[in-house]
Structure 1
Amino acid sequence: MTVTFNHTIIATKDRNASAAFYRELFELPEAPSWGPFANVLLDEGVLLQFAEPPVDIQMQHYAFLVDDELFARCLARIEERGITYWADPHMQREGETNTEHGGRGFYFFDTAGHAIEIITRPYL
């Protein structure tokens, strides 16, 4: 059997708002949710499961690989919402995108405070 990524649980203060944010950002349909999770279904059956844990939320980093067309639409949505973004993970180049690794990329914080990276080319 090959190894593939199946799901991750992302801590948030409002699971439904976080799931809605990602569905809108990535143009995804509603996904079945159950128990304490609001789910977002990505390609290949990968689930993002948003939950509201009874603990302080620690910032995590999540990177998403998208095609050039979706990248442009994602960036436009971030700009429309007035969300600050950077070309670099050190937050030195505000309002810019990068062209590293042969593609484009940018960083921002989602509604739960997680560091999100959107890229058009994988690093490897």
Structure 2
Amino acid sequence: MSATFNHTIVAAADPQESAQFYVDILGAEHVQTWGPFANIMLTGGVMLQFAAPPPPYEFSPVHMAFLCDDAQFDRAVALLTDRGLDYWADPQRAKPQETNTEHGGRGVYFLDPAGHYLELITQPYL
């Protein structure tokens, strides 16, 4: 049996703003915060800790994909639309303001406030 993923630190110029974005989009919950971290908890006990990197705040964006059900997917896409945020059906950003029906489900790509690449899918790839 392999290890279980527990938490990761996500670089963010404004940790509180990023944490709230993930709470809004993913339906995550705020949990106790300490030190430089704004912490949220995903279903399954995985914690995301948002923190500003040391100056000059340079970091490489990462890609994170989240599995959700159809209702959560619809709510998230509606929220992106309501906020006037860009999203794409593909990682190359060639199909703006569209979603996809890959892998037997639906998917969408978008950026978080810090510029990380996020993906929502309704069916796992495997």
Q: How many residues align?
A: 124
Does residue 119 (structure 1) correspond to residue 121 (structure 2)? The answer is yes
**TM-score (ref. length: structure 1):** 0.95
**Deviations, residues 70-122 of structure 1 (Å, cap 9, x unaligned):** 00000000111111110000111111100000000000111000111000011
RMSD: 1.1
Moved more, 48-57 or 23-32: 23-32
- Cα deviation for residue 27 of structure 1 reads 2.3
Distance 1:60 1:27 in 2: 20
Counterpart residue number, 1:27: 27
TM-score for both structures, normalised by structure 2: 0.94
CA displacement at 1:3 relative to structure 2: 1.9
- Provide structure 1 residue ranges, at least 5 long, that are not aligned to the other structure: none
Q: Secondary structure at the match of 2:20?
A: helix
Task: Report sequence identity in percent.
Answer: 53
In 2, the alpha carbon distance for the partners of 1:28 and 1:65 equals 13
Per the TM alignment, residue 67 of structure 1 is displaced from its structure 2 partner at its CA by 0.5
Measured after TM superposition, the shift of residue 2 of structure 1 is: 4.2
Q: Which runs of 4+ in 1 moved over 4 A?
A: none
Distance (whole Å) between structure 2 residues aligned to residue 28 and residue 87 of structure 1: 23
The equivalent of 2:53 in structure 1 is 53
CA distance in 1, matches of 2:95, 2:27: 27
